[in-house]
Amino acid sequence: MWYRLIFLLLCSVYAGKLFSAAKQPDLFAGADSLCTAGKYNEAALACEKILFLNADPAVRGEALLHKGRCLKAAGNYTEAVRNLKRADTLPLPDSLQYFLRYESALCAYLSSNAAEAAFQLTQIRLMNDSSWRDSCLLLQALVDLEQENWAAAKQHVIRYAQFNHLVIDTTQLIGDEKELKLKSKTKARRLSIIVPGLGQVYAGKPIRGLTSFILVTGSLAYGAWTVLDGYYISGTATGLGLAARFYSGGVRYAGKLADEYNARKIEAYQEKIRARILKKQP
């Protein structure tokens, strides 16, 4: 999505500025040139070669970091996370661990793995340097939104605004989750138990609700007509059997439609807030 591409660009630029403060040996010049030229696979292979040929943990950690960024630039976010986590067993300085975990969190977020992103951000918060924690506030707020943790998202946006000396109205920025007006899955199922199809109507699908009602009542009508025509056993079995299947299926389907409705509303709400947050970048 466009907001993720924007976020990736912003965070890549920010992280790149931070990392430029550290000494980058000429060892990675070739891989970086390939990555800049858009030859991401070749760049990743060059980083893997450096990793294979060096026993120094710091060099190996930087090789994994460079490779992770190449994979991220190529859009292979899941593979980038797997690659970056290979550094977990290496004895590395805190500064390098920060960049590895930050990239892991970012790539995990971009691959819709909010749980992994939250874990990596938690590891960063446990580090001693508070500036590293503060630099992750924007990403943390977006991860909170992905996990539907609205209160935490607001708090991280407030801290982000303070850290960057911004004036932000969090109520206007984040909004109120009550405005979502989500549907109750239990209520949708209960309504369909009372009247076939009513739960689907409640979940925002009136045509499907009408179809469910017609299928149930039509099955009963067919059974009654068959019984009146003299086929007592087959008419009863067929009519009630079909009606029972359509009825129970309609009840389950009403709950599913309520879940789908809520998922759409939450995603739209999250996307709107992401766009607002990204516009507040200093």
Q: Flag whether 178 is in a domain.
A: no
Q: Flag whether 156 is in a domain.
A: no
Mean residue pLDDT of the chain comes to 82
Summarize pLDDT for 103-157 with one digit per residue, the tens.
999 999 988 899 999 999 999 988 877 778 888 888 898 898 888 888 888 888 8
Q: Flag whether 203 is in a domain.
A: yes
CATH code where residue 130 lies: 1.25.40.10
Q: Which structure tokens are listed for 81? A: 């996370």
Q: Flag whether 11 is in a domain.
A: yes
Residue type, 144: D
**Greater model confidence, 26 or 95:** 95
d(CA 165, CA 158): 10
d(CA 30, CA 32): 5
Q: Flag whether 155 is in a domain.
A: no
Asked which of 112-121, 184-193, 223-232, 271-280 is least confident by mean pLDDT, the reply is: 271-280
Average of per-residue pLDDT across 46-57:
89
Q: What is the pLDDT of residue 100?
A: 93
Both 126 and 237 in one domain: the answer is no
Residues 226, 238 contacting (CB under 8 angstroms): yes
Overall number of domains in the chain = 2
Last residue of a domain, one of 135, 156, 177: 135
pLDDT band at 181 (very low <50, low <70, confident <90, very high): confident
Q: What distances in angstroms separate CA 139 from CA 84, 109, 110, 215, 253, one per listed residue?
A: 18, 8, 11, 49, 36
Both 29 and 89 in one domain: the answer is yes
Report the Cα 41 to chain-centroid distance in Å: 26
Both 105 and 18 in one domain: the answer is yes
Q: Which structure tokens are listed for 84? A: 């970056």
Residues 142, 236 contacting (CB under 8 angstroms): no
Q: Is 181 left (phi over 0), alpha (psi -120 to 50) or beta?
A: left
Q: What is the pLDDT of residue 65?
A: 92
Q: Which residues contact 38 (CB under 8 A, 6 or more apart)?
A: none
Average of per-residue pLDDT across 199-224:
90
Q: Flag whether 174 is in a domain.
A: no
Last residue of a domain, one of 116, 135, 154: 135
pLDDT band at 278 (very low <50, low <70, confident <90, very high): low
Q: Flag whether 223 is in a domain.
A: yes
Both 191 and 130 in one domain: the answer is no
Q: What is the pLDDT of residue 256?
A: 93
Average of per-residue pLDDT across 82-105:
90
Both 55 and 129 in one domain: the answer is yes
Both 199 and 86 in one domain: the answer is no
Q: Is 92 left (phi over 0), alpha (psi -120 to 50) or beta?
A: beta
Both 196 and 131 in one domain: the answer is no
Both 203 and 91 in one domain: the answer is no
Both 204 and 109 in one domain: the answer is no
pLDDT band at 23 (very low <50, low <70, confident <90, very high): very low
Both 190 and 130 in one domain: the answer is no
Both 121 and 9 in one domain: the answer is yes
Q: Flag whether 175 is in a domain.
A: no
Q: What is the pLDDT of residue 172?
A: 59
pLDDT at residue 83 greater than cutoff 60:
yes
**Domain membership of residue 12 as a residue range:** 2-135
Both 190 and 131 in one domain: the answer is no
d(CA 267, CA 114): 14
